[in-house]
Homo-oligomer: A and B are copies of this chain.
Amino acid sequence: MRVVRSIRTMQRLVSQAKRSGKRVGFVPTMGALHDGHRSLLRRCRRENDLAVLSIFVNPKQFGLREDFAKYPRREHDDKKLAKKEKVDIMFVPSVKEMYPEGYLTYIEVEKMTQFLCGRSRPGHFKGVTTVVGKLLNIVTPDVLYLGQKDAQQAAVLKRMARDLNFPVAVRVCPTVREADGLAMSSRNQYLPAGQRREAAVLYRALREARQGVAAGNRSSAGIAGGIRSRIGRESSGRIDYIECVDADTILPLKRIQGKTIIALAVWFGKTRLIDNIIVRT
């Protein structure tokens, strides 16, 4: 496995690979890799000739009071995991390499970014779309792999790729969960043991909501209310949002219909966790 830190080198290596007919797969991450990332890397490895992983904690997607400084960085462990998963190139640019002095250009997806995490984290998705747009131009993959855990991010990036005609296919892979159902996240390690145990309520509540929809409940407010009260009963979590949204547009629905994402963000202490479940009516 090759570790690349320069954009120019990365572009040169991929351009050579593509000229020799290789299919390039790409998994963008912020590192602190867990089994969720691992599932993306495995699919990427299986489906492509060249498997590229990027690790970049992107300052532009963190708000002023957010956890950019303390976000876990463990390049050494990540490198071991990447090697084990047979990644060909691990791209690890510095902040200065990605955003040199005088940087001025941003990509934004409108409307879809106004709700859910976009409301709680103003500017977050502008940072995400900008950095992924850059990475697509640097890695020029044939296929981009994203996780369903970040449902809004996946929908926004799919839309960006389509709207801006990036010549890439986007694959969204299922959320990988701990034994108790908690969605894998690099932020789970912030949780002290008590909150960690409590956090399993999120997936229990989401599954209960899915059963409610299956049983004929179509009211978004009703579904959200059920989730809210279960989380309140079984944990100390403080709710940021619970929303039922259209899976493609990420716009809130009054009544659940078609492919719908039930999404939530909940604070446990100083840690904000997100999760979601897809339902189809």
**Which A residues are within 8 Å of any B CB, using their own CB?**
7, 11, 15, 18-19, 21, 102-112, 129-130, 133-134, 137-138, 140, 159-160, 163-167, 249
Q: How far is the CA of A137 from the CA of B166 in the complex (A)?
A: 5
Minimum CB distance partner of A98 in chain B: B165
**Which listed residue, B105, B109, B110, touches A163 by the CB 8 Å rule?**
B105
Beyond A18-B19, A103-B163, A106-B110, 13 extra complex contacts between A and B, CB < 8 Å: A7-B165, A11-B165, A104-B111, A105-B159, A105-B160, A106-B108, A107-B107, A107-B164, A133-B164, A134-B163, A137-B164, A137-B165, A140-B167
Q: How far is the CA of A183 from the CA of B249 in the complex (A)?
A: 45
CB distance from A111 to the nearest CB of B (A): 6
Minimum CB distance partner of A249 in chain B: B102
**Interchain CB contact under 8 A, A105 and B107:** yes
**Interchain CB contact under 8 A, A107 and B106:** yes
CB distance from A162 to the nearest CB of B (A): 8
A21: chain B residues at CB < 8 Å are 19
CB distance from A127 to the nearest CB of B (A): 14
Report the copy number of this chain in the oligomer.
2
Q: How far is the CA of A137 from the CA of B168 in the complex (A)?
A: 10
CB distance from A133 to the nearest CB of B (A): 6
A11: chain B residues at CB < 8 Å are 165, 167
Q: How far is the CA of A129 from the CA of B165 in the complex (A)?
A: 14
Ordered nearest first, which 6 A-B pairs have the shortest CB separation?
A105-B163, A137-B165, A104-B110, A105-B109, A138-B165, A134-B165
Q: How far is the CA of A167 from the CA of B141 in the complex (A)?
A: 13
Q: How far is the CA of A137 from the CA of B165 in the complex (A)?
A: 6
With A134-B164, A134-B165 known as contacts, the answer to whether A105 contacts B108 (CB < 8 A) is yes
Minimum CB distance partner of A10 in chain B: B165
Q: How far is the CA of A130 from the CA of B15 in the complex (A)?
A: 24
> Can you list 6 A-B contacts with CB-CB less than 8 angstroms, sorted by A residue number?
A104-B111, A106-B108, A107-B107, A108-B108, A134-B165, A137-B165
A111: chain B residues at CB < 8 Å are 104
Q: How far is the CA of A110 from the CA of B140 in the complex (A)?
A: 25
CB distance from A157 to the nearest CB of B (A): 10
Q: How far is the CA of A130 from the CA of B110 in the complex (A)?
A: 13
A18: chain B residues at CB < 8 Å are 18-19
**Interchain CB contact under 8 A, B109 and A164:** no
Most chain B CB neighbours (cut-off 10 Å) among A104, A108, A110, A133: A104
Q: How far is the CA of A73 from the CA of B224 in the complex (A)?
A: 53
